[in-house]
Structure 1
Amino acid sequence: MNQQSRIISVAKQTIETESKAILYLSELVTEEFADAVNYIYNSEGRVIVTGIGKSANIATKIVATLNSTGTPAIFMHAADAIHGDLGTIQQRDIVICISKSGNTPEIKVLVPLIKAIGNKLVAITSNKESFLGQQADFVLHAYVEKEACPNNLAPTTSTTAQLVIGDALAMCLLDLRGFSSRDFAKFHPGGSLGKKLYLRVSDLTSLNEKPMVHPNTDVKKVIVEISEKMLGVTAVVEDNQVVGIITDGDLRRMLTKVDNIAGLTAKDIMSKNPKKINNDAMAIEAMELMDKHGITQILAEEDGAYCGVVHIHNLTKEGII
């Protein structure tokens, strides 16, 4: 087997090993899992997630997922906890402790301290019979038969399983809270993801000029309007309602068909029934409409009245595309 083939083989084996382990996790979701979710949901405290080594890395991701989906959470490193950070835990908090073996020295020191404070303890572990599993109030079983590592040493399958259990926990809590995309947007105001969730068409039309001509406007003035407003398009408006649209493409097609443009008006070259979108719609909807119809601009209206234009460049600039 050459090196290229070996790389592909190892990659596939890793993915298959981990995927089988993840699939098996669904069989380990029991009423105890549901009890843990309900307890967290009804709790007035925060969720403190702790672990050591690679499990600590997984803990930080679970904390991030919980926070972004409506469950207040804090990461506490297991080693730091026994050297002062135990004060992170408040009276009503719930502690989730992540450990594959459930028997590491730090865990054996930390768990009795948590129990002494009186906080409920949730374990995410591969070994239900471990010290952690025996001491926990709730055990979320993240059993894996073997690591994807050929030496069965490097945490691979086990950390993937921990992450999946954490995601399942977070999604159950999200479902119980009725957490919506609008709620999600409140916690993700920055970046393209946030903008997809909260940016509206009106936020974009307000940035642009508002090109518009009357159906009887002379073609020369139509050309000037499109050029000055720099959007490659103008709406044809009568009584503040859109009756048509003229694009750069319409002008080019006109010039290939007509030798003398004298006497031509907007209504002679406009396209009727243009694609429109409500000014209060989400910007992502404008993008989807443009993509569906193969256009680069779309007209916005509110209560039937013309509001302006959204250009594909607006969406690109805002990171929507």
Structure 2
Amino acid sequence: MSRPDDPALAAARALLHIEARAVLAQEQALDADFQALVRAIGADEGTTLVAGVGKSGLIARLLASKLASVGTRAFYYSALDALHGELGAIRRGDIIILLSNSGQTQELVDVAKAAQLRGARIVAMVSRVPSALSRIADWTLRCAVEREATDTKLPTASTTAMLALADALVVAVARQRDFSAEDFGRNHPGGTLGIVLSAKVRDLMVAAPQSVALVSAGQPIFETLLAMTSFPNGAALVVDGDRVLQGIVTEGDIRRGLGTHGRGFLDLDTGSCMTAPVRRTCGPDLTALQALEIMETPHQINVVPVVDGDRRVLGLLRLHDIAGMEVEKALG
């Protein structure tokens, strides 16, 4: 159990408050220079190179990676390597984003001067304005920070603020380019995230009627329970003669009914325990991400019926089907 007067805990809490204020303060950086940069990157007329040294270099790597993930031709650029023979990578019209808390980092200043001579456009993401970098830059993003979170001046609030401003830039560029979740999925085919973003419901669902318990409202609950046992998906879908969705019965519905009414509950009609109407359904052409949003709002459900435009049942999507897709990919 933590002590409320623990000085280490107090320091950690104070840091979070300082960093939270630093992040919110970055809204001031969303000015005309920020907008011009977003438009320039979104126009995709050149390559975007991102450079930094030390802690800023780590954020530069992440910024370049995220810009690439939203469809931008962006790469991390080593300032040290550039000054030792790799300036040839820079072309007229390229954008060079240079990250430096002080704005005085000599390696970045030297890269900015050399890149400008080659016709590149320079961006300074700095805390101090004016500074050597801001004086050279075509556009300056001021990452203003009131103070670091420790007396030792360990980079804390400054790096957090810079990372937040970098993320704001990525999101703005993505919106400028009308970059969708489906586009992101095509750029991120590996792992669970790629599957969630790009896979379609029709690829993940359990198909009906082959593998889904379809029952009628007039059937005894006992028969519905047998159907659910034959197709253990956690639910049975109640349909009419044309396979139009009428309701849903889950394993939880059966357990609660037995707990309340005893064995006699099994002789009742299925319509007496089904949930109707079924408000949460999805279509076969939705992405897995869109289906997950349906399954998680306003509260999480484990299964959702898949229907066509006439609410005719096509299948059943289970929450663990998405994870199962990743396991299958890993094994295959």
| Structure-2-length-normalised TM-score | 0.78
- Residue in structure 2 matched with residue 277 of structure 1 by the alignment: 281
Larger deviation, residues 44-53 vs 130-139: 130-139
Q: Residues 144 and 243 from structure 1, CA distance in 2 versus in 1: closer, same or farther, beyond 3 angstroms?
A: closer
Amino acid at match of 1:202: R
Contact 1:213/1:266 (8 A) holds in 2: no
Larger deviation, residues 106-115 vs 69-78: 106-115
* Secondary structure, aligned partner of 2:151: coil
- Residue in structure 2 matched with residue 88 of structure 1 by the alignment: 89
Q: In structure 2, which of residues 307, 313, 316 is the aligned counterpart of residue 301 of structure 1?
A: 307
Measure, in 2, the Cα distance between the counterparts of 1:6 and 1:24: 27
* Secondary structure, aligned partner of 1:82: helix
Amino acid at match of 2:303: Q
Question: What is the deviation of 1:178?
Answer: 2.6
Gaps of 5+ in 2: 327-332
- Residue in structure 2 matched with residue 210 of structure 1 by the alignment: 212
Q: Residues 234 and 93 from structure 1, CA distance in 2 versus in 1: closer, same or farther, beyond 3 angstroms?
A: same
Question: What is the deviation of 1:123?
Answer: 0.9
Q: Residues 56 and 231 from structure 1, CA distance in 2 versus in 1: closer, same or farther, beyond 3 angstroms?
A: same
Q: Which digits, 9 at most, give the CA deviation of each residue in 1:78-113, with x for residues without a partner?
A: 112212333332333110111122323322432222
Contact 1:211/1:235 (8 A) holds in 2: yes
Larger deviation, residues 129-138 vs 116-125: 129-138
* Secondary structure, aligned partner of 1:87: helix
1:140 aligns with 2:158: no
Report sequence identity in percent: 30
Measure, in 1, the Cα distance between the counterparts of 2:165 and 2:125: 8
Measure, in 1, the Cα distance between the counterparts of 2:34 and 2:26: 12
Measure, in 2, the Cα distance between the counterparts of 1:274 and 1:161: 48
Q: In structure 1, which of residues 230, 242, 246 is the aligned counterpart of residue 245 of structure 2?
A: 242
Q: In structure 2, which of residues 229, 233, 237 is the aligned counterpart of residue 227 of structure 1?
A: 229
* Secondary structure, aligned partner of 1:80: helix
Amino acid at match of 2:228: I
Q: Which digits, 9 at most, give the CA deviation of each residue in 1:14-36, with x for residues without a partner?
A: 23333333444333443233333
| Structure-1-length-normalised TM-score | 0.80
Question: What is the deviation of 1:316?
Answer: 5.5
Amino acid at match of 1:287: M
Q: Which digits, 9 at most, give the CA deviation of each residue in 1:172-215, with x for residues without a partner?
A: 32232233333333333444444443444333324681222456
* Secondary structure, aligned partner of 1:168: helix
Measure, in 1, the Cα distance between the counterparts of 2:164 and 2:293: 31
Q: Residues 4 and 69 from structure 1, CA distance in 2 versus in 1: closer, same or farther, beyond 3 angstroms?
A: farther
- Residue in structure 1 matched with residue 330 of structure 2 by the alignment: none
Question: What is the deviation of 1:132?
Answer: 1.7
1:131 aligns with 2:138: no
* Secondary structure, aligned partner of 1:101: coil
Measure, in 2, the Cα distance between the counterparts of 1:71 and 1:142: 23
Measure, in 1, the Cα distance between the counterparts of 2:271 and 2:147: 73
Q: Residues 196 and 24 from structure 1, CA distance in 2 versus in 1: closer, same or farther, beyond 3 angstroms?
A: same
- Residue in structure 2 matched with residue 158 of structure 1 by the alignment: 158
Contact 2:122/2:139 (8 A) holds in 1: yes
1:74 aligns with 2:75: yes
1:311 aligns with 2:318: yes
Amino acid at match of 2:170: A
Contact 2:185/2:197 (8 A) holds in 1: yes
Question: What is the deviation of 1:286?
Answer: 4.6
Q: Residues 116 and 272 from structure 1, CA distance in 2 versus in 1: closer, same or farther, beyond 3 angstroms?
A: closer
Question: What is the deviation of 1:285?
Answer: 4.0
* Secondary structure, aligned partner of 1:278: coil
Amino acid at match of 1:172: A
Contact 1:111/1:132 (8 A) holds in 2: yes
Question: What is the deviation of 1:273?
Answer: 2.8
1:287 aligns with 2:295: yes
Q: Residues 215 and 150 from structure 1, CA distance in 2 versus in 1: closer, same or farther, beyond 3 angstroms?
A: closer
* Secondary structure, aligned partner of 1:148: coil
Q: Residues 312 and 174 from structure 1, CA distance in 2 versus in 1: closer, same or farther, beyond 3 angstroms?
A: closer
Contact 1:101/1:125 (8 A) holds in 2: yes
Amino acid at match of 1:242: L
Contact 1:277/1:299 (8 A) holds in 2: yes
1:116-127 correspondence to structure 2 within 5 Å: 116-127=117-128
Question: What is the deviation of 1:43?
Answer: 4.6
